[in-house]
Amino acid sequence: MRAAQTQENAGIRRSRNTSGAGIQVDGVTKLYRRRLAAGTTDLFVALEDVSLSIQTSQFVSLIGPSGCGKTTLLRIIAGLEHPQSGDVSVQGQPIHGPSPDRPMVFQHFALLPWENTLNNVAFGLKLAGVPKGLRDERARYFIKLVGLAGFEHATPRELSGGMQQRVGLARALAVDPAFLLLDEPFGALDEITRREMQNELTRIWESDKKTAVFVTHSVDEAVYLSDRIIVMTSEPGRIVDDIAVPLPRPRTREAETSDEFQAIKARVWACIGS
């Protein structure tokens, strides 16, 4: 059973923009009020005049030091926060709030602890009003896709961290979003599991090529996964480089040993300043 076939069966049909800018960020500035000593406060500039265009079907990573605003930018794209100035649009439409078409996958899995894998993956479909038989069929497809067949009835506490993250990824994919927003989804995993999840995400993305925005602190991870790497700096949060990653796809681990991979890594590190 293919995802495209189950999409119609589950009543989640969407027209997709297959060319041009999938995400457009124009002059976004975001301020936060922070508390200082002696009860005083000031305004912290999380993002300042950030502009970015992400093409449909690109995999783009945001990287930079802590406090550079990369998660804030991702949350604005998700519609979870709003900038003080500037505009953000997806497929030509301004963002006014969250949408099932822009789910976020978080570092902390945010699963329903009392529900099993099947029900966690089907949760978004349930909210969309998809009948139980159809949503379970679709959930089982994505559970298999992320390598968790046989764990449909396991609760989160019965799963390892890596398996829980697979459930979170399957839940996001199950609603067939046009965009996939990932906020350091592998940051809490051990290195071996992290590499396994990178391979899984690469395999899944290659099959569908959703427009993906991925926040990470890992330079190697950004180079391995991405078509482009957006490097940000902090105080205020700004884009300092936009680096193309022309490594061949499908991406394999052999790419990590290439001179081109190492050259891209060196450029990212030079931008970050380490």
Query: What length does the chain have?
Result: 274
CATH for 3-103+175-272, options being 3.40.30.10, 3.40.190.10, 3.40.1210.10, 3.40.50.300 = 3.40.50.300
Residues of the chain with pLDDT under 50: 1-19
Alpha helices, DSSP H, located in 83-233: 117-121, 123-127, 132-145, 161-174, 191-208, 219-225
The reported pLDDT for the residue numbered 20 is 58
pLDDT of residue 274: 55
- pLDDT given at position 71: 94
Non-local (6+) Cβ contacts of 61 within 8 A are 213, 214, 215, 216, 221, 222, 225, 226, 228, 229, 230
Are 4 and 58 contacting, i.e. CB atoms less than 8 angstroms apart?
no
Per-residue pLDDT, 13: 40
What is d(CA 168, CA 107) in angstroms, rounded to the nearest whole number? 10
Quote the pLDDT of residue 31: 93
The pLDDT of residue 33 is: 81
Rg from Cα positions in the chain: 19
Contacts of residue 260, defined as CB under 8 A and 6 or more positions apart, other chains included, come to: 246, 247
Residue 2 has a pLDDT of 39
